[in-house]
């Protein structure tokens, strides 16, 4: 008897078909949730981008091409000579540090930017790779992880954003224990898709200003 006529084959086909149906349902629900998240993001972006604070920060962001975040236990910072490992560009860190007064933020703000991004919404993002919300979500998760890591390990941490062009950024994640004078870290790159919001083509500097 041919294998495709056997009972085992029919069971396998049913299992495979059931899996496809489940993923189609999850994909459909996720897509709708992703569309809803995008709509909320664009509505919020329109409101935020019209504020004077946003416009002021956007101007600074475009001029410096850097954003700098220093996470210290107790809010204290002791300056000193820093040795950077993992081929992190020290010049980038120094330039970003000199512009560290660009942004004042509460750590919890990062988790409030896209608060309702659940499992199904993340599935929907797979179908929305051409929208900047995907990279914005990834950037926010990086910040959130760094904040949580700092709380857990009691390390001094830097997060530095370097805007390469209108679409790409490098994110430097650096850590130093209180007993050391050397940063360990790595670099992550993200690409932001362009989008037309408020009759304007938004680029990476707009999104970074929105995040911070």
CA 133 to centroid of chain Cα atoms: 9
Q: What is the mean pLDDT of residues 5-9?
A: 80
Q: Is the pLDDT of residue 179 over 70?
A: no
Q: Indicate the domain borders of the chain.
A: 52-118+129-211
pLDDT band at 15 (very low <50, low <70, confident <90, very high): very high
What pLDDT was estimated at residue 150? 59
The per-residue DSSP string of 139-191 comes to: HHHHHHHHHHHHHHHT-EEEEEEEE-SSSEEEEEEEEE-TT-SEEEEEEEEEE
What pLDDT was estimated at residue 80? 38
pLDDT band at 75 (very low <50, low <70, confident <90, very high): very low
Q: What is the mean pLDDT of residues 122-136?
A: 84
Rounded Cα–Cα distance for residues 212 and 210 (Å): 6
Strand ranges (E), the chain? 66-71, 83-84, 156-163, 168-176, 182-191, 195-197, 200-202
Q: What is the mean pLDDT of residues 59-69?
A: 71
For 14, phi then psi, to 5°, come to -65, -40
Q: Is the pLDDT of residue 44 over 60?
A: yes
Please indicate whether residue 180 or residue 212 has the higher confidence score (pLDDT). 212
Please indicate whether residue 186 or residue 105 has the higher confidence score (pLDDT). 186
pTM comes to 0.68
> Who contacts 109 (Cβ-Cβ below 8 Å, separation ≥6)?
none
What pLDDT was estimated at residue 89? 61
Q: CB count, 10 Å around CB of 157? A: 21
């Amino acid at each position: 008897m041919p294998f495709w006529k056997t009972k085992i084959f029919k069971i396998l086909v049913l299992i495979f078909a059931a899996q496809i149906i489940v993923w189609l349902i999850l994909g459909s629900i996720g897509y709708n949730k992703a569309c809803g998240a995008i709509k909320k993001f664009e509505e919020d972006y329109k409101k935020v981008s019209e504020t004077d604070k946003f416009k002021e920060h956007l101007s600074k962001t475009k001029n410096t091409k850097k954003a700098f975040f220093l996470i210290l236990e107790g809010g204290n910072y002791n300056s000193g000579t820093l040795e950077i490992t993992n081929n992190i560009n020290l010049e980038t860190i120094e330039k970003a540090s000199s512009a560290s007064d660009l942004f004042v933020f509460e750590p919890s703000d990062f988790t409030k930017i896209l608060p309702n991004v659940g499992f199904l919404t993340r599935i929907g993002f797979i179908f929305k790779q051409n929208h900047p919300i995907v990279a914005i979500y990834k950037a926010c998760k990086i910040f959130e992880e760094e904040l949580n890591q700092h709380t857990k390990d009691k390390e001094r941490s830097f997060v530095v954003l370097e805007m390469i062009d209108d679409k790409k950024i490098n994110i430097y994640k650096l850590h130093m224990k209180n007993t050391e004078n050397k940063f360990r870290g790595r670099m992550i790159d993200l690409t932001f898709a362009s989008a037309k919001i408020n009759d304007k083509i938004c680029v990476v500097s707009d999104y970074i200003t929105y995040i911070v």
